[in-house]
Amino acid sequence: MEERIVSGTQQENDYSDDTSLRPRRLNEYIGQERIKANLEITIAAARLRGEPLDHTLLHGPPGLGKTTLANIVANEMDAKIKVTSGPAIERPADMVSMLTRLETGEVLFIDEVHRLPRVVEEVLYGAMEDFVVSWVIDKGLKARSMNLSVKRFTLIGATTRYGMVSSPMRDRFGSVHRLDFYSEDAMRSIVERSARILAVTSDDEGVAEIARRSRRTPRVGNRLLRRVRDYAQVKADGTVTGDVARDALERLEVDALGLDDTDHLVLRSIIEKFAGGPVGIETLAAAISEEADTIMDVYEPFLLQMGFLDRTRRGRVATRRAYDHLGFPYPEEARRQASLF
């Protein structure tokens, strides 16, 4: 996969690096105030009762801290955590063996929980609800079902696609939290904290510039900080100032609002090839040789949030703001179409 500087998706090569920047406790975690407040209460209550936490579903765009929060919850509960992901568990037997080996109170974190195969998901239902898994042994006439008990554990599921989590699965989570893009203030605090941990010398303007161009996403902020640090060391005196950050990020084709070359490609293609839209997601994806899923998971949420893109029943539409930002004149026809939505 091509290395993209602003993509929210995890890339294995810098995944381990990022862990040094991850907060370990709820009180170190910046932003997502409502989720933190709710988690504080459910964690305190579960601890008071001496019970494991209820199963919890975290959803929202990539890079906003779902995995970090799952680890924090385990830490706050003094519990161990096992980490896996939906596509990694292919067979029901793998799920059974994972579940039956969990200890009391342990957290099982399943990333991309919407991608669990259906047959695997069905094993999970009984475990989540009654801490039992039904396991069919033998085949044909000799087939018998065996109930295996599972210790009381906490499932934390994470997904970028809430709509693709099946409804029986959704119903079995005791709490559901949606992570939103961070405020600019929160982003500044996160970049500042990371700069401190990485011992990067920076001024307020440098931090603010990186925060502004980070698509309100901590993972992107941390990645940009590292790239700007490189640039500051090689091309300047090592200090991340506003000018250094701007120069570095312009070279990386991250614009003043944090859009990168692929965001530009998405918007430009809607405007130029599809007369501003509406265009179906698959058609758009084919036009720019990108996966429709990647557009939907990584680019679209931020473009929607920034008001550059609208999603209509007939497809995606570039907004007036997109035309202005990319320097295209807003056509009469688009103006007329927009008034019809």
**Contact positions toward ligand ADE, by CB under 6 A?**
21-23, 29-31, 65, 68, 190, 193, 218
Q: Is 219 a catalytic residue?
A: yes
340 vs 314: CA distance, rounded Å: 12
Q: Which is nearer to ligand ADE, 72 or 322 (CB)?
A: 72
Q: Is 67 a catalytic residue?
A: yes
CA 23-165-101 angle, to 5 degrees, is: 65
Residue 210 CB, nearest distance to ligand ADE (Å)? 13
CA 67 → CA 34, 85, 302, distances in Å?
A: 17, 11, 20
The total of other beta-carbon atoms located within 10 Å of residue 173's CB is 19
Phi, psi of 335 (to 5 degrees): -60, -40
Residue 17 CB, nearest distance to ligand ADE (Å)? 12
Q: Which is nearer to ligand ADE, 23 or 92 (CB)?
A: 23
Helix (H, G, I), strand (E, B) or coil at 199: coil
Q: Which is nearer to ligand ADE, 75 or 283 (CB)?
A: 75
CA 211 → CA 18, 35, 303, distances in Å?
A: 17, 22, 17
Of 22, 66, 172, 215, the active-site residue reads 66
Q: How far apart are the first and last CA of the chain?
A: 37
Of 219, 229, 246, 316, the active-site residue reads 219
Residue 52 CB, nearest distance to ligand ADE (Å)? 24
321 vs 61: CA distance, rounded Å: 22
Residue 197 CB, nearest distance to ligand ADE (Å)? 9
Q: Which is nearer to ligand ADE, 193 or 316 (CB)?
A: 193
Residue 206 CB, nearest distance to ligand ADE (Å)? 18
Residue 158's beta-bridge partner residues?
58
Q: Is 273 a catalytic residue?
A: no
Of 111, 260, 263, 297, the active-site residue reads 111
Q: Which is nearer to ligand ADE, 150 or 187 (CB)?
A: 187
Q: Is 324 a catalytic residue?
A: no
Q: Is 160 a catalytic residue?
A: yes
74 vs 201: CA distance, rounded Å: 33
The residues annotated as belonging to the active site are 66-67, 111, 160, 219
